[in-house]
Chains A and B, each alone.
Chain A
């Protein structure tokens, strides 16, 4: 009985200490979320005051799920997130392993690799806009000397190549973030594990797959959750590079959300879209936690 009551007292004290932070979380996270949920069931179009405001139930959601533009944007967003995050993970891992092994100029390399990440999204997108400008951009010029036709050099005019440019911009900008997260993960893996493995005759591939990767999983997990939820809300690149075009070919959910709220001023409809984006992000996060989290628990412990 005695240790148990001690535990409850300790637990009560713990909850008390936690209370302020829980309150802050409730204020900054749960309240806006609840408000958005409530708003998503309203009709509220502030620039059309004759459209009566009020409760419309799930009508906004119903309108969304029958809109072809919504499904196109959802497919685009998932496609973009998949490609850019996968590329960032692979490139980031390679870069992190290389930097981790480097013994000279470590500070300088780390600063240099972080540079693209420190550039604001819109500035980065404008730089890429110059690079792909069909009249004087570097990339079309190189493509021209390689024999590509004039039409194929207008990268932002075709849906597929427009997406390649958008994904390239994102990978260029966000791989450093991935590198940094993975580098931090690499640095906490004890060196003696590798020494032991080497003594047991393990090849460096075996060491990588049996030591590095399993022990890096928590860092990978965190980096993936961050990057996936960010990539899922991609807006700045689209707004700057293509404006959603050609047609609606490069529209994403966040871009549609911007259109609904700032162009149409349809706050209820926009809120419904926000809720769906939130649910998608949440699903990704849970999926990662479930699949990678389980593996991390099964893996060896230092």
Chain B
């Protein structure tokens, strides 16, 4: 027994020694200056960011920057960020944020206000796309800056429209003519959009609502989801499936890639999608390469074409040890040349208005020449720290309306009362609504 006890002690000591030895493995080498961490996506984004970071370190020899790759899935990255920031971790300095997270993180005091730094110069805020800046602000203060932008676009089969001597669709009424085009050319699908019960559907439904002059919140911040105009709009959207034969029921199960695959196979006349689909649809294996065009979204009689604004921002962790060096990095990543190069290499569209007149970029993305206004006039989803709760409510009721589990009237009425309850219960005290 005694021998066993001794052996046990020896094993324990060895084990503790091993733990201590491994403990040191992850620790940073002794610091010789400033060391920053930039958190962003993985894959090609990561490879390109690492190239840019090398150049930044060449310009700032005393600042070392490491790239922290995070999950590409937005919800997983969000969870990771909330875990870091809610524990006030200083380990990450600069974060690549989805536009809808900025108000949430800003309201929680997790992001450094950037007004003073931006005012000192170096960056011209005027050139940023207005919806991008709107998303970066919360209660009048600047908490991030746009890095790349996204907006809903309408892809249409140029060849079919030309053969039918029709102009590309511009209004809700034009959408109804898609059925004729579809039947004339024997395509299975007319107009495709993202209709599954997820955030993509929220974007599509909001685009229809905005493009018909409706809103969720009016300019004074009052909740106006349940309006007769919005009811009409939602009815129009639902009828595309069940009455007009314009959209197949299949759209209620489709996300972006389902739409893109079907359009790429030549199954559909029209598709609402984000800009990412453009280069993919033009690859040689695509059946619609060089046969399609891109135009602004259709609009109703009460409004003008309004795309949902998406994309990514750069923000600085409020608990960063090196706020000044972090700002230098943000400035570097957001300078015109770097944004242009990022667009050229990654195809992610730049947040600067002037780059939409840049000859090199327009040669690479010729479809953007006529779409500058789409990005300028794109609209952010409601800018509130409670957006994820609101988006969840909208997701459920829009999906129920689209699958006829609720009438548009019921969907808007219930959505309105549920959102009102969330605002009353979880709203930040003192927040101006």
Contact = CB atoms under 8 A, between A and B. Distances in A.
Nearest to B262: A135
A47 B399 CA distance: 26
Given A150-B249, A154-B252, A264 B389 contact: yes
A49 B402 CA distance: 35
Give the interface size class of chain A: 20 to 34
B398 to A, nearest CB: 9
A246 B252 contact: yes
Contacts of A218: none
Interface string B346-366: 000000000000000000000
Given A133-B258, A245-B197, A48 B108 contact: yes
B248 interface: yes
Contacts of A47: 82, 86, 104, 108, 388
A51 interface: yes
Contacts of B23: none
Nearest to B386: A48
B249 A243 contact: no
B248 A154 contact: yes
Specify which of A47, A150, A156, A259 lies most central, judged by the most chain B CB atoms within 10 Å of its CB: A47
B428 interface: yes
A136 B188 CA distance: 11
B396 A248 contact: yes
B176 interface: no
Nearest to B268: A135
Interface residues of B, number: 39
Given A50-B428, A263-B75, A247 B253 contact: no
A158 B403 CA distance: 7
Contacts of A263: 75, 388, 392
Interface string B79-122: 10010001000000000000000001001110000000000000
Interface string B390-412: 00100011011011011000000
Given A51-B426, A134-B253, A247 B406 contact: yes
A245 B253 CA distance: 9
Interface in B186-215: 188-189, 196-198
B108 to A, nearest CB: 5
B340 to A, nearest CB: 35
A254 interface: no
B385 A48 contact: yes
Interface in A139-163: 150-151, 154, 156-159
B57 interface: no
A187 B158 CA distance: 67
Contacts of A151: 249
B410 to A, nearest CB: 11
A243 B86 contact: no
Interface string A237-254: 000001111111100000
Contact of A46 (B75, B82, B109, B262): B82
B249 A45 contact: no
A249 B405 contact: yes
Given A49-B109, A248-B396, A264-B388, A157 B253 contact: yes
A45 B108 CA distance: 11
Interface string A220-246: 000000000000000000000011111
Given A246-B197, A246-B399, A259-B392, A135 B265 contact: yes
A51 B407 CA distance: 35
Contacts of B196: 242-243, 245
Contacts of A247: 197, 396-397, 399-400, 403, 405-406
A286 to B, nearest CB: 35
Contacts of A127: none
Nearest to B79: A262
A47 B252 CA distance: 31
A196 B79 CA distance: 64
B106 to A, nearest CB: 12
B322 interface: no
Interface in A120-134: 133-134
Interface string B406-433: 1000000000000000000010110000
B319 interface: no
B253 A154 contact: yes
B249 A154 contact: yes
A157 B108 contact: no
B406 A50 contact: no
Interface of B: 75, 79, 82, 86, 104, 107-109, 188-189, 196-198, 248-250, 252-253, 258, 261-262, 265, 267, 385-386, 388-389, 392, 396-397, 399-400, 402-403, 405-406, 426, 428-429
13 contacts: A45-B426, A47-B82, A47-B108, A48-B385, A48-B428, A50-B429, A134-B248, A156-B253, A157-B249, A242-B197, A245-B198, A248-B396, A249-B405
Given A50-B429, A245-B197, A247-B397, 5 more contacts: A47-B86, A135-B262, A135-B267, A136-B265, A157-B253
